[in-house]
Structure 1
Amino acid sequence: MLFNSFTFFVFFSIVFLCYWFALKDKTKSQNIFILASSYIFYGWWDWRFLGLIALSTLVDYYLGKLISKELNTIRKKILLAISIIFNVGLLCYFKYYNFFIDNWVDAWQSIGFESNISSLNIILPVGISFYTFQTMSYTIDVYRNKIKHSNSLINFAAFVAFFPQLVAGPIERASHLLPQFSIKRVFNYDQAVSGFYLIVWGLFKKIVIADTCATYVNTIFDNYENMNSLSLLLGAVYFAFQIYGDFSGYSDIAIGISRLLGFDIMMNFNKPYFSRNIAEFWRRWHISLSTWFRDYVYIPLGGSIGTPVGKVRNVFIIFLISGFWHGANWTFVFWGLLNAVYFLPLLLLNKNRKYLNNVSISFNLSGLMNIINMFITFFLVVTTWVFFRSKTITEAFAYLKRFISDLNFTNQYLSIERYAIEALILVSFFILVEWFSRNYEHPFLGKYKTIYLTFIIFLIIVLGVYSEHSDFIYFQF
């Protein structure tokens, strides 16, 4: 059930009306209804995986209880280890089993030996990378005494399966979202309006920007051997906006739907393509995952404190895991390592915390340097996206090699696609809107917001790409 489908519109309309009218002022009933709705939403993808999310919920709920009551430090650590091993084990089996087996077989074959081990026909459950991290952070925080264990299985199950952010985040913390299931929720008009604005803006990002760019990205990447440098550059840039519009669009819709139900979930993107170095980019891109790895992996390893060797080790570990989290392919691993290479000099030179303020442009040397740094950072990010999008590392290097060796910047691709100019105009318009609204979560502000909202809705209706196969990119992770 896609956010950008008529089926979801009908589903959410029913949920919204029942939630606020039939179950008004009945917090427990609302929570049960949210849980049931979330399981229907998740089961719509594949009902067979409902048992998996229910099992994950039960295991971490009861482990959290046991951890909170256990006074013996060693036994407490063992209980936490069980939670981590269980959750990581689920990911390894469903997401990485075939990857490890295939690479094991290839490694033995490369030295002349045959292996009888074969891969399995395993279907990847939608959203497993998100909800396993969400439940795992709960038991870790209970172990650290940062939160108390939940006394309500219904509330905890609803927290884990909360359908707006279930399959592609943001990855919420129990300390933030879980308590919201225990308090009475009252319909707030201003909160609902801001949620509606975010849904509209998210839909524009997804079905107008991302899905339009996807048409060109697919053609260029599938035929990169025959494309000139300009076409390859366009393909890489278009993918940068495809993945950003797709993923941040999903996050905006998820946040908006949550607000319509009286919940607040965290921001996941903050205009990342206006970053002035890679460190700032990672503070603005997929914020819920970046902060998860920071709090539960990077800092426990020692973070940026310690010897230079320790700092280098921690950076490579965190980006390696981040890359591997995205998928069972060496392209994602290399993508993570390349980001580590970009990030490391900033850390060693103590410049990783240089840009903490929102970017602004002034007519002086400082403003000029901001522009230059944004272009350099965007170029570095785009090169990493080539590896993220390519099927193999070999194809990614071949793509980049052809780009720097062809050096033909004629309008080859623009001339063979009927709407190529319109796509450039759309992306340019999107950049301008993002820039002028860079200090806000959506652009519908000021006295002309109604006119602007109407115009964006018009673009969604007229230029939106409507397809049954228009999945969100991060569903595969």
Structure 2
Amino acid sequence: MSFNSYGGIIFAILVLCGYHLIRRHDRQNIFLLLVSIYFYATSSILFTGLLISTIYVGFSAGQIIESVRNTGRSVRTITAFAIILLLGILGVFKYYNFFVDSFAASISMFGFKPSVSTLNIVLPVGISFYIFQTIGYLIDVVRKQTKAETNLIDFALFVSFFPQLVAGPIERSQNFLKQIKVKRPPITNADVTYGLFLIIQGYAKKVVIADNLAPYVDAIFEHKDISSPLIWVGLLLFAIQIYGDFSGYTDIARGYSRLLGFRILLNFDRPYAARSPSDFWRRWHISLSNWFTEYVYFSLGGNRSKSSVRRGGNVLGTMTLSGLWHGASLNFIIWGAYHGLIILLGRVFSKIVPKAVRQSKASTALAVSLTFILMLYGWMYFRITDFDQLISFHHAIIFEWGGWEPALAFLFQGTIFLVLWLVIDIMELHWINIHAHEVKNYRGIGIYMGFILTIVFVLHAVDPSAFIYFRF
């Protein structure tokens, strides 16, 4: 079941109605847990046991860590065991074949011909998200940033809450578990307005912008006569497609959560307006960026090291692991390493250029433009999984400057959806305060939502596709 299906919409409406008919806070949590497990089972019934096992491991490990904290036993050993177990589950289902193939390819370079076998493993929906959320919780317990949860129902709901279960945001216990444990206040008109705004906007991003751009992107990346202009148009359309797809899901998840009385983390903040690669990652998939910063980058030492090489290595290592999180293939590792490199280059540039120059309007416009181009180029590593195709695309970018006619044709066909993306981003900036989670301008917001809803009905894609980040 998916939010962009009729079944998903009906499910969400029924859950909202059922939830608000229940008055007691503890029963509301039980109800949400049951419907969340059901929601996951409809997408991946075979792996519902895996989700439940993750919940059990996280809950039990948290309890053990809390109980042995003052006994002299090694908390870190227990934590490491639990995290290795969780990462092992993730590794088997997501990375087993990749590492087996990589190992075989490596030793074959020395003349060995290993006999290895891969497994036909299906990736459980959302496994990277809920396992990382559980690991983050355990680390927070160890660091005493949160107390180990003693209520299994509350913890299970924290891990499996259906709006953000399969594609995030990756929640922190300090934010979300705290909301689960207390009685939610009655839903206000402001909650309804804000929630509906996000839901309608999210559907527009997904079924109008992302799903309509998808066929053009596929056609370009499968085009026989690839050229530099065609590649750049394809990267532009893909950049907007993946933004509409992923931020659309997040908007829908945050909207439904708000109608249930929860405020989940902001995950996107106009990323293509970023002034630097570092700024981009403060705006794109914010919950994942924060997770890697908090639990990987800082654990490696962050910026504390006196060695610039060590500090650079921390950035590069963190971003490379972030790329690997997205998928078990070489292109994602390259994508992550690429972002690590341009983040480091951006830091060097910021030290060279005087602050007064960087803050001028002309410099800001130039910085945003250059950052956007760097992001477009990076999406090529994300979109293309075949290494030979990557090489041919690089050759075309440098040497093939023909093909303007098909490039302009695709650009013209996608223009309406690019314009809609800009309109939606500008209107969001005008009507809501995304950081305060509230509507800041009620004047005309109903008319705007009616307009967007009309656009959804008129221009929705005939063949809707699954959310891209479901595969991660």
Using the TM superposition, give the Cα deviation of residue 180 of structure 1 relative to its aligned residue in structure 2, in angstroms: 1.2
Residue 432 to residue 197, structure 1, CA distance change in 2 (3 Å): closer
Please show how residues 191-202 of structure 1 align to structure 2 within 5 Å.
191-202=191-202
**For 1:78 and 1:365, how far apart are their aligned partners in 2?**
48
Query: Residue 27 in 1 paired to residue 25 in 2?
Result: yes
**Aligned 8 A contact 1:138 1:174 in 2:** yes
Post-superposition Cα deviations, 1:303-359, rounded to whole Å, max 9, x if no partner, equal 11221021011011101100000000000000011111101123356659x99xxxx
Query: Partner of 1:328 in structure 2?
Result: 328
Aligned to 1:360: none
Question: Contact (CA 8 Å) 1:433, 1:443: kept in 2 or not?
Answer: no
Aligned to 2:404, the other structure's residue is in SS state coil
Does the 8 Å contact 1:308/1:348 carry over to 2? no
Letter paired with 2:172:
R
Distance 1:432 1:351, change over 3 A: farther
Give CA-to-partner distance per residue, 1:129-165, whole Å, 9 cap, x none.
Answer: 0000111111111111111111110010011000000
1:239 equivalent in structure 2:
238
- 1:453 is aligned to 2:449: yes
Determine the C-alpha separation between the residues in 2 that align with 1:230 and 1:309: 37
**Would you say the 8 A contact 2:226–2:393 is kept in 1?**
no
Relative distance call for 1:109 and 1:365 in structure 2 (3 A) is closer
Whether 2:419 is the aligned partner of 1:428: answer: yes
| Correspondence for 1:359 | none
Shift in Å, 1:216: 0.7
Match status 1:189 vs 2:189: yes
The aligned counterpart of 1:115 is 114
Distance, in Å, in 1 between the alignment partners of 2:400 and 2:299 is 46
**How far does residue 365 in structure 1 lie from its aligned partner after superposition?**
8.7
Q: Distance in 1 between matches of 2:108 and 2:148?
A: 50
Counterpart-to-counterpart distance in 2, 1:366 and 1:347: 18
Matched AA of 1:460: V
Does the 8 A contact of 1:444 with 1:452 survive in 2?
A: no
Partner of 1:18, secondary structure, is: helix
Whole-angstrom distance in 2 between the partners of 1:59 and 1:430: 42
Equivalent positions of 1:319-468 (< 5 A) are: 319-348=319-348, 366-408=360-402, 410-415=404-409, 421-435=412-426, 437-438=428-429, 440-441=433-434, 445-467=441-463
Question: Secondary structure at the residue paired with 2:361?
Answer: helix
SS at match of 1:328: coil
Distance apart, 1:414 and its partner CA: 4.2
- 8 Å CA contact retained: 1:202, 1:252: yes
Alignment partners' CA distance in 2, 1:274 and 1:443: 22
| Partner AA of 2:422 in structure 1 | I
Shift in Å at residue 409 of structure 1?
5.8
Unaligned runs of 5+ in 1: 356-363
How far apart are residue 367 of structure 1 and its match?
1.6
Contact 2:133 2:159 in 1 (8 A): yes
C-alpha distance in 2 between matches for 1:466 and 1:42: 25
Partner of 1:217: 217
| Aligned-pair CA distance for 1:436 | 5.6
2:471: which partner in 1?
Answer: 476
Question: Against the structure 1 CA distance between its residues 299 and 410, is the aligned structure 2 distance closer, same or farther, given a 3 Å change threshold?
Answer: same
- SS of 1:146's partner is coil
- Determine what percentage of the aligned residue pairs are the same residue: 38
- Which whole-Å CA distance do the structure 1 matches of 2:351 and 2:150 have between them? 44
Shift of 1:72: 4.0
Distance 1:189 1:446 in 2: 11
Q: What is the 5 A alignment of 1:141-156?
A: 141-156=140-155
In the aligned structure 1, how far is the partner of 2:131 from the partner of 2:55?
9
Runs ≥4 in structure 1, deviation > 4 angstroms? 348-352, 442-446
1:413 Cα deviation (Å)?
4.1
Cα gap change, 1:6 to 1:410, in 2 (>3 Å):
same
C-alpha separation between the residues in 2 aligned to 1:446 and 1:257?
Answer: 20
Secondary structure (helix, strand or coil) at the match of 2:282 reads helix
Spell out the pairing of 1:120-139 with structure 2 (5 A cutoff).
120-139=119-138
Would you say how many aligned residue pairs link Structure 1 and Structure 2? 461
Tell me by how many angstroms 1:472 deviates: 0.5
- Is 1:272 the counterpart of 2:271? The answer is yes
Structure 1 Cα separation of the partners of residues 259 and 376 of structure 2: 35
Contact conserved, 2:330 with 2:385, CA < 8 A, in 1? no
Aligned mates of 1:204, 1:436 — CA distance in 2: 13
Q: How far apart, in 2, do the equivalents of 1:245 and 1:341 lie? A: 26
* Secondary structure of 2:74 counterpart: helix
AA in 1 matched with 2:112 = F
Q: Does 1:64 align with 2:66?
A: no
Cα deviation code 1:268-327 (max 9, x no counterpart): 000000011111101101000000111111112111122102101101110110000000
Distance in 2 separating the partners of 1:293 and 1:230: 35
User: Does the 8 A contact of 1:279 with 1:343 survive in 2?
Assistant: yes
TM superposition shift of 1:193: 1.6
Alpha-carbon distance in 2 for matches of 1:460, 1:396: 35
TM-score by length of 1: 0.92
Shift of 1:100: 0.7
Distance (whole Å) between structure 1 residues aligned to residue 287 and residue 351 of structure 2? 22
Deviation of 1:467 (Å):
2.7
Q: Displacement, 1:445?
A: 4.2
* 8 Å CA contact 2:278, 2:343 repeated in 1: yes
Spell out, residue by residue over 1:161-191, the C-alpha distance to the aligned partner (whole angstroms, 9 max, x if none): 0000000000001111012111112222211
77-86 vs 266-275, greater mean Cα deviation: 77-86
User: How much does 1:392 deviate?
Assistant: 2.1
Q: Distance in 2 between matches of 1:44 and 1:124?
A: 15
Structure 1 residue aligned with 2:40: 42
Q: Compute the displacement of 1:443 (Å).
A: 9.4
CA contact (8 A) 1:304 1:347 kept: no
